[in-house]
Amino acid sequence: MIETSEQAAKLILERLQKDFLRKSRTIYQMLVVRDHFSQTFNFFLEIKPKNQREKSIPLHTIENYDLAYLESVIRNLQKKTQITMQFKGFHELVWPESQNRISKG
Amino acid sequence: MNYDREPHGLFFMIDNKSFYASVESVTRDEDPLKSVLVVMSEEDNTNGGLILAASPRAKEIFGITNVSRCRDLPQDDRITAVPPRMNLYIKKNLAINKIFLQFVADEDCYPYSIDESILDMSKSWRLFGRTPLEVAKRIQTAVHDKLGLWTTVGIGENPVQAKLALDLIAKHDDDRMGALTYETFPEKIWPITDLQSVWSIGRRTAVHLERVGIHSMDDLAHSNPYQLKAEFGIIGTQLLALAWGIDRSQLSNLIKPSDKSWGNSQVLARDYVVQREIETVIKEIGNQVASRMRHHHQQAGCVSLMIGFSYVSAETSGKSGFAHSMRIEVTESSDQINQYLIYLFRKTWDGEGIRNIAVSLSHLSSNEGLQLNLFMNPHTQIKHDLMTRVLDKVHDQFGTTALVPASSLLHGATMLGRASLVGGHNGGNSFD
């Protein structure tokens, strides 16, 4: 599936809105995983109500395994949402453009 | 016992440790053996949620078994619950089988279920190691390196030994491997007293065995074959063979069922009591089954309808439901099939609440052109036939929801909601 970073971001936001209900005493986070097995970037919405089990809802899988592309998807997302993003599986990698460590968020 | 004349091959039965949960863990960059994760289906008809799979740690800490109810799962912040993505698991299963094909020829790899495969390694194992265990280890590593998933391997001289080695030994082994041979079979299998834990022995058979004084695999192996056969019929002889680890099946000879049939069934999200709603769902299932049949260029000579009552109705009427079949004039038309189904339904239904509906078509024959009915207008018949074909084509090209009967929009219809499900569970995001 070839999609532009805008399309990817739009789809992720749409799916995010459905379950991002902003309930009280609940932590909402977006999890972005670099999956080196399937060579994809996986997006999840993590919902953690206090003292209850966490729910992790898949939002999207990006097949384009390119950090520059991911950076632009993330930038598009950040224009529209302030949700905390957590990055996993990126180890010491840095964003191609901003040169910041990815795992620092 | 002389095993010389039994087949001596080398079979691997490989399954994935907590398959769905492991796949979900890997996509979240978590170690499938350490994560505490459950896959939970929350479809309307699962009554608050059904646990499809739990990671090994989740099973250990909370004592969850697969197919537990969600209400049995504690609200604990250590647990992560995720929705199922059936399409993803199918994809991963294909990827795993592709890895297996590096070790055996295509015709020696037999997928057994979504997370189990049988490999006939008899011819090829020597290429990959000095001992079967070494080869098994190599396959495990190959799958783990490529997909991050851990597999469990049962090794045997025939398929049944491999399956028992998997279920009874490998699953409790730290290296996730287990082996059985004709020689070690008595020592490892006969002490088993929990008969139900042995593959192919179900609850009722286990109770039956207990009743006739068979309390262990040892007892079973040493029972009188004639008495076993008298008591259990043909299954008795199979049980005896099982107790001795004997399996003469040749996997390459596929079994062809003599009378195939097509069928679909549904558990409804609530009790249905309104006739129109029930009939809508019956017709939707009828359409689905008929369309599957037409895809195989077949027509049916018999329709069957099974209705399961709701809990309350079953209690009050003392019946759990009804099932009826009728022979019909051979047809492939959804409309005609649905008419028969509705007739069967109306004939027996007496206002009970309904929770299960199943439809099947049998007495199939290959469809060679339209058989015109002398007593009906031929033009109408041909038009109907063309219409069906166009509908099927549209559905093939644009999906089953591209064109639906207006009745599927009525209250109570389930077809649109179920269109994206795979095996009754969420298939995952369609645009992934």
Q: How far apart are CA B368 and CA A102, in angstroms?
A: 63
The one catalytic residue in B30, B43, B60, B116 is: B116
Instruction: Decide if B430 touches A, using CB distance below 8 A.
Output: no
Question: Structural domains in chain A?
Answer: 5-104 (3.30.420)
When pLDDT is averaged across residues A12-38 and rounded to a whole number, the result is 94
Flag if A55 and B79 touch (Cβ within 8 Å).
Answer: no
Task: Say what the pLDDT of residue A13 is.
Answer: 94
Instruction: Decide if B27 touches A, using CB distance below 8 A.
Output: yes
Residues B209 and B279 in one domain: no
The residue with tokens 């009728």 is B326
Best of B16, B22, B25, B28 to substitute, by most chain A Cβ atoms within 10 angstroms, is: B28
Which of A37, A53, A56 has its CB closest to that of B146? A37
Task: Say what the pLDDT of residue B46 is.
Answer: 61
Residue A11: its chain B contacts at CB < 8 A?
431
Residue B275 falls within a domain, yes or no? yes
What's the length of chain B?
A: 432
Flag if B428 and A1 touch (Cβ within 8 Å).
Answer: no
Residues B208 and B325 in one domain: no
Residue B365 falls within a domain, yes or no? yes
Judged against a pLDDT cut of 60, whether residue B378 lies above it is answered with yes
Residue B248 falls within a domain, yes or no? no
When pLDDT is averaged across residues B110-123 and rounded to a whole number, the result is 92
CATH, residue B44:
3.40.1170.60
Q: How far apart are CA B376 and CA B372, in angstroms?
A: 8
Residue of chain A whose Cα is closest to the Cα of B74: A53
CATH, residue B277:
3.30.1490.100
Residue B412 banded pLDDT, cuts 50, 70, 90: confident
Please enumerate in sequence order all residues whose Cβ is within 8 A of that of B185, keeping only pairs 6 or more positions apart, or say none. Answer: B161, B244, B245
Residues B280 and B420 in one domain: yes
Count of domains observed in chain B: 3
Q: Identify which of B81, B52, B85, B44 has the alpha carbon closest to the alpha carbon of residue B68.
A: B52
Residues B343 and B410 in one domain: yes
- Which token pair is B417? 């909601």
Residue of chain A whose Cα is closest to the Cα of B430: A60
Please enumerate in sequence order all residues whose Cβ is within 8 A of that of B310, keeping only pairs 6 or more positions apart, or say none. Answer: B271, B352, B353, B354, B355
Judged against a pLDDT cut of 90, whether residue B82 lies above it is answered with yes
Q: State the nearest Cα–Cα gap between A3 and chain B, in angstroms.
A: 11
When pLDDT is averaged across residues B93-107 and rounded to a whole number, the result is 94
Using beta carbons and an 8 Å cutoff, which residues of A are at the interface with B? 1, 11, 15, 31, 33-35, 37-38, 42, 44, 48, 50-61, 88-89
Could you give the percent of chain B with pLDDT greater than 90? 60
Residue B324 to residues A101, B305, B309, B339, Cα–Cα distance (Å): 67, 5, 14, 14
User: Is B116 in the active site?
Assistant: yes
Q: State the nearest Cα–Cα gap between B428 and chain A, in angstroms.
A: 8
Residue of chain B whose Cα is closest to the Cα of A11: B431
Residues B230 and B277 in one domain: no
> Whole domain around residue B209: which residue ranges?
190-243
Task: Say what the pLDDT of residue B399 is.
Answer: 82
Give kind and range of the element (H or E) at residue B342.
helix B334-348
Residues B416 and B274 in one domain: yes
Please enumerate in sequence order all residues whose Cβ is within 8 A of that of A7, keeping only pairs 6 or more positions apart, or say none. Answer: none
Residues B282 and B324 in one domain: yes
> Which value does ipTM take for this structure?
0.94
Residues B234 and B363 in one domain: no
Average pLDDT, chain A: 92
**pLDDT digits over B383-405, tens only?**
988 888 898 888 888 888 888 88
Judged against a pLDDT cut of 70, whether residue B429 lies above it is answered with no
**pLDDT digits over B277-316, tens only?**
999 999 999 999 999 999 888 999 999 999 999 888 888 8
Residues B211 and B298 in one domain: no
- Which token pair is A88? 């996993």
Select from B211, B243, B275 the last residue of a domain.
B243
Cβ neighbours, 10 Å, residue B343: 14
Average pLDDT, chain B: 89
Residues B234 and B327 in one domain: no
Residues B416 and B273 in one domain: yes
Instruction: Answer for the pair B285, B338: CB distance below 8 angstroms, yes or no.
Output: no
Instruction: Answer for the pair B77, A54: CB distance below 8 angstroms, yes or no.
Output: yes
Which of A34, A52, A89 has its CB closest to that of B75? A52
Strand residues in chain A grouped as ranges (E):
26-35, 40-49, 54-62, 84-88
Residue A61: its chain B contacts at CB < 8 A?
27, 429, 432
Residue A57: its chain B contacts at CB < 8 A?
82-83
Residues B401 and B272 in one domain: yes
Residue B353 falls within a domain, yes or no? yes
Judged against a pLDDT cut of 60, whether residue B36 lies above it is answered with yes
Residue B83: its chain A contacts at CB < 8 A?
57-58
Judged against a pLDDT cut of 70, whether residue B257 lies above it is answered with no
Task: Say what the pLDDT of residue B224 is.
Answer: 93
CATH, residue B215:
1.10.150.20
Residue A34: its chain B contacts at CB < 8 A?
29
Judged against a pLDDT cut of 80, whether residue B57 lies above it is answered with yes
Least-confidence region, from A30-44, B222-236, B255-269, B374-388: B255-269
Residue B144 to residues B148, B322, B432, Cα–Cα distance (Å): 4, 48, 24
Instruction: Decide if B420 touches A, using CB distance below 8 A.
Output: no
Residue of chain B whose Cα is closest to the Cα of A26: B77
Residue of chain A whose Cα is closest to the Cα of B146: A37
